[in-house]
Amino acid sequence: MNSADAAVRRAGRDDADAIGRLLHAFNREFDEPTPEPEILAVRMRELLAGDDFAVLLAGADPAGLVVLRFRPAIWSAGMECYLAELYVVPQQRGRGLGRALMHAAIDLARDRGADTIDLGTSDDDHAARSLYESLGFVNREAPPDGPITYFYELEL
């Protein structure tokens, strides 16, 4: 991969169609329900207009994205950053796009005053877990010297 392939940029509202396509492809790949790309694009335009949401894009077309949400922290004066989605199209995996997106996400979170980045992934997503751990992320759900914690979700 050349450096142009890994170029990461901040998405704007004009990128909403590409973001919608990528998010739709992500959920379809993992057999998750998903709105159509056009519906996702409308939502992305709305969210990108605010200051608590950011999307970074990488590669041609683009070929990958990371979606970040920001909120004020409770236990510090900083911000918390939630990494909601990281996706690279299958044909482009293994070329460094995911790592480039993660480095850019970490940099953006720091620039926005975040103290932490948190995320959720599944036990069987070994590639993602390996990437996150190589960047210093720690699995708080299975600490070696403390109680196991759980990540819960409720659809409303």
Domains in the chain (CATH in brackets) are 8-134 (3.40.630.30)
Give the pLDDT of residue 1: 45
Contact 6, 66 (CB under 8 A): no
Contact 115, 73 (CB under 8 A): yes
Question: What residue spans of 2-156 are helical by DSSP H?
Answer: 16-29, 37-48, 97-111, 126-134
Who contacts 117 (Cβ-Cβ below 8 Å, separation ≥6)? Answer: 68, 80, 81, 82, 83, 105, 106, 109, 137
Kindly list the averaged pLDDT for each block of 10 residues, start to end, along the chain of length 156.
Answer: 69 98 96 96 98 95 97 95 97 95 97 94 87 87 62 72
Give the pLDDT of residue 147: 62
Give the pLDDT of residue 2: 46
Give the pLDDT of residue 103: 97
| Alpha-carbon distances, residue 46 vs 16, 75, 77, 124 (angstroms) | 9, 29, 27, 33
Query: Distance between CA atoms of 83 and 91, rounded to whole angstroms?
Result: 23
Q: What is the dihedral of CA 29, 31, 33, 35, to 10 degrees?
A: 20
pLDDT in tens, 47-88: 999 999 999 999 989 999 999 999 999 999 999 999 999 999
Token look-up 């492809």 returns 25
Give the pLDDT of residue 134: 94
